[in-house]
Protein backbone atom coordinates (compact mmCIF):
# COMPACT_ATOMS: atom_id res chain seq x y z
CA UNK A 1 0.00 0.00 0.00
CA UNK A 2 1.54 3.25 -1.14
CA UNK A 3 1.47 5.85 1.63
CA UNK A 4 0.56 9.42 0.75
CA UNK A 5 2.86 11.28 3.11
CA UNK A 6 3.95 14.86 2.55
CA UNK A 7 7.59 14.89 3.58
CA UNK A 8 8.13 18.11 1.58
CA UNK A 9 6.26 20.02 4.30
CA UNK A 10 9.42 19.62 6.39
CA UNK A 11 11.86 20.91 3.77
CA UNK A 12 11.63 24.46 5.15
CA UNK A 13 12.53 23.15 8.63
CA UNK A 14 15.82 21.65 7.52
CA UNK A 15 18.81 23.62 8.74
CA UNK A 16 20.77 23.93 5.49
CA UNK A 17 24.03 25.88 5.27
CA UNK A 18 26.49 26.51 2.49
CA UNK A 19 30.19 27.06 3.09
CA UNK A 20 32.87 27.12 0.41
CA UNK A 21 30.58 25.54 -2.22
CA UNK A 22 29.64 22.70 0.13
CA UNK A 23 25.99 22.49 1.15
CA UNK A 24 25.24 20.68 4.39
CA UNK A 25 22.22 19.96 6.54
CA UNK A 26 22.13 19.64 10.32
CA UNK A 27 21.17 16.15 11.47
CA UNK A 28 19.46 16.26 14.90
CA UNK A 29 20.17 12.58 15.54
CA UNK A 30 23.88 12.63 14.75
CA UNK A 31 24.10 16.22 16.07
CA UNK A 32 26.31 17.40 13.23
CA UNK A 33 26.21 18.82 9.73
CA UNK A 34 26.01 16.29 6.90
CA UNK A 35 26.85 16.99 3.25
CA UNK A 36 23.64 17.30 1.26
CA UNK A 37 22.77 14.55 -1.21
CA UNK A 38 19.30 13.78 -2.56
CA UNK A 39 19.11 10.73 -0.25
CA UNK A 40 20.24 12.79 2.76
CA UNK A 41 17.49 15.36 2.17
CA UNK A 42 14.92 12.53 2.11
CA UNK A 43 16.43 11.04 5.30
CA UNK A 44 16.24 14.41 7.10
CA UNK A 45 12.63 15.03 6.06
CA UNK A 46 11.68 11.51 7.19
CA UNK A 47 13.38 12.18 10.54
CA UNK A 48 11.29 15.36 10.91
CA UNK A 49 8.15 13.34 10.16
CA UNK A 50 9.04 10.59 12.65
CA UNK A 51 9.85 13.11 15.39
CA UNK A 52 7.09 15.67 14.84
CA UNK A 53 4.16 13.72 13.41
CA UNK A 54 4.72 10.22 14.76
CA UNK A 55 6.12 11.43 18.10
CA UNK A 56 9.04 9.01 18.15
CA UNK A 57 11.56 9.94 20.87
CA UNK A 58 14.81 11.36 19.51
CA UNK A 59 16.87 9.22 21.88
CA UNK A 60 15.41 6.03 20.33
CA UNK A 61 16.50 6.90 16.78
CA UNK A 62 19.86 6.20 15.14
CA UNK A 63 20.99 7.09 11.64
CA UNK A 64 23.32 5.08 9.39
CA UNK A 65 23.60 2.21 11.82
CA UNK A 66 26.44 -0.12 10.86
CA UNK A 67 25.61 -3.78 10.37
CA UNK A 68 27.13 -6.80 8.65
CA UNK A 69 25.00 -8.54 6.00
CA UNK A 70 26.36 -11.67 4.31
CA UNK A 71 29.86 -10.77 5.51
CA UNK A 72 29.70 -7.25 4.06
CA UNK A 73 29.54 -4.00 6.01
CA UNK A 74 26.37 -2.01 5.38
CA UNK A 75 24.51 0.91 6.94
CA UNK A 76 20.81 1.14 7.76
CA UNK A 77 19.50 4.63 7.03
CA UNK A 78 17.22 4.99 10.06
CA UNK A 79 16.67 2.57 12.93
CA UNK A 80 14.17 3.22 15.70
CA UNK A 81 14.80 1.22 18.86
CA UNK A 82 12.11 0.12 21.32
CA UNK A 83 12.25 0.39 25.11
CA UNK A 84 14.37 -2.77 25.28
CA UNK A 85 16.87 -1.13 22.87
CA UNK A 86 16.00 -3.66 20.18
CA UNK A 87 15.42 -2.55 16.59
CA UNK A 88 11.71 -1.76 16.25
CA UNK A 89 11.52 0.02 12.88
CA UNK A 90 14.00 0.08 10.01
CA UNK A 91 13.60 2.81 7.38
CA UNK A 92 15.51 2.64 4.11
CA UNK A 93 15.74 5.99 2.29
CA UNK A 94 16.47 6.37 -1.41
CA UNK A 95 17.05 9.37 -3.62
CA UNK A 96 13.86 10.82 -5.15
CA UNK A 97 15.52 10.09 -8.51
CA UNK A 98 15.40 6.34 -7.82
CA UNK A 99 12.20 4.30 -8.10
CA UNK A 100 11.38 1.93 -5.27
CA UNK A 101 12.16 -1.41 -6.85
CA UNK A 102 12.12 -4.99 -5.63
CA UNK A 103 15.88 -4.68 -5.08
CA UNK A 104 15.31 -1.77 -2.67
CA UNK A 105 12.81 -3.85 -0.68
CA UNK A 106 15.23 -6.78 -0.62
CA UNK A 107 18.00 -4.49 0.65
CA UNK A 108 15.84 -3.32 3.57
CA UNK A 109 14.71 -6.89 4.29
CA UNK A 110 18.33 -8.11 4.28
CA UNK A 111 19.21 -5.52 6.90
CA UNK A 112 16.48 -7.00 9.05
CA UNK A 113 17.44 -10.69 8.73
CA UNK A 114 19.22 -10.85 12.08
CA UNK A 115 17.41 -8.07 13.88
CA UNK A 116 13.85 -9.12 13.05
CA UNK A 117 12.41 -5.69 13.75
CA UNK A 118 8.60 -5.84 13.66
CA UNK A 119 8.31 -2.88 11.27
CA UNK A 120 10.01 -1.93 8.03
CA UNK A 121 9.60 1.08 5.73
CA UNK A 122 11.13 2.25 2.48
CA UNK A 123 10.85 5.68 0.87
CA UNK A 124 12.29 7.88 -1.83
CA UNK A 125 10.41 10.89 -0.47
CA UNK A 126 7.76 10.65 -3.18
CA UNK A 127 6.64 7.08 -2.61
CA UNK A 128 6.63 5.38 0.79
CA UNK A 129 5.74 1.86 1.87
CA UNK A 130 5.47 0.73 5.48
CA UNK A 131 4.79 -2.80 6.67
CA UNK A 132 4.38 -4.89 9.79
CA UNK A 133 6.45 -8.04 9.76
CA UNK A 134 5.15 -11.24 11.31
CA UNK A 135 8.33 -13.28 11.52
CA UNK A 136 6.82 -16.40 13.12
CA UNK A 137 4.29 -16.72 10.29
CA UNK A 138 6.81 -15.55 7.66
CA UNK A 139 4.43 -12.92 6.33
CA UNK A 140 4.02 -9.17 6.22
CA UNK A 141 1.19 -6.72 5.82
CA UNK A 142 1.30 -3.23 4.37
CA UNK A 143 0.30 -0.45 6.75
CA UNK A 144 -1.52 2.81 6.09
CA UNK A 145 1.15 4.80 7.98
CA UNK A 146 4.27 4.38 10.05
CA UNK A 147 3.60 2.37 13.23
CA UNK A 148 2.33 4.23 16.28
CA UNK A 149 4.96 4.61 18.99
CA UNK A 150 4.19 2.08 21.80
CA UNK A 151 4.28 4.63 24.62
CA UNK A 152 1.52 6.55 22.83
CA UNK A 153 -0.71 3.47 23.02
CA UNK A 154 0.36 2.55 26.53
CA UNK A 155 1.66 -0.89 25.60
CA UNK A 156 4.51 -2.55 23.78
CA UNK A 157 3.89 -4.60 20.66
CA UNK A 158 3.23 -8.25 21.48
CA UNK A 159 6.20 -9.36 19.40
CA UNK A 160 9.23 -10.99 20.96
CA UNK A 161 12.39 -9.42 19.56
CA UNK A 162 15.89 -10.67 20.32
CA UNK A 163 18.20 -7.93 21.55
CA UNK A 164 20.78 -7.40 18.81
CA UNK A 165 22.84 -4.26 19.02
CA UNK A 166 24.48 -2.47 16.11
CA UNK A 167 28.14 -3.07 15.38
CA UNK A 168 29.81 0.13 16.70
CA UNK A 169 32.98 -0.51 14.67
CA UNK A 170 31.19 0.30 11.41
Range 2-153: architecture per CATH: Alpha-Beta Complex (3.90)
pLDDT at 146: 96
pLDDT, tens only, 120-167: 999 999 999 999 999 899 889 999 999 999 875 544 443 333 334 444
As a whole number of angstroms, the distance between CA 145 and CA 79 comes to: 16
Q: Which residues pair with 53 in a beta bridge?
A: none
As a whole number of angstroms, the distance between CA 39 and CA 26 comes to: 14
Contacts of residue 126, Cβ cutoff 8 Å, sequence gap at least 6: 96
Full-model pTM: 0.85
pLDDT at 8: 86
Q: Which of 74, 107, 73, 103 is nearest to 92 (CA)?
A: 107
As a whole number of angstroms, the distance between CA 151 and CA 82 comes to: 10
pLDDT at 91: 97
pLDDT, tens only, 40-54: 999 999 999 999 999
Q: Other CB atoms closer than 10 Å to residue 93's CB: what's the count?
A: 28
Least confident segment among 21-25, 35-39, 77-81, 110-114: 110-114
pLDDT at 24: 97
As a whole number of angstroms, the distance between CA 124 and CA 128 comes to: 7
pLDDT at 87: 96
Amino acid sequence: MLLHLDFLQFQSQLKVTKKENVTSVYDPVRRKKIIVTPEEVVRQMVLCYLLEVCGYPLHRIRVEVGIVVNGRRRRCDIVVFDQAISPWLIVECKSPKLPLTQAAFEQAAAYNLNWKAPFLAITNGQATFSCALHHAEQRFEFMSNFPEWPEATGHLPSISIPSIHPDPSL
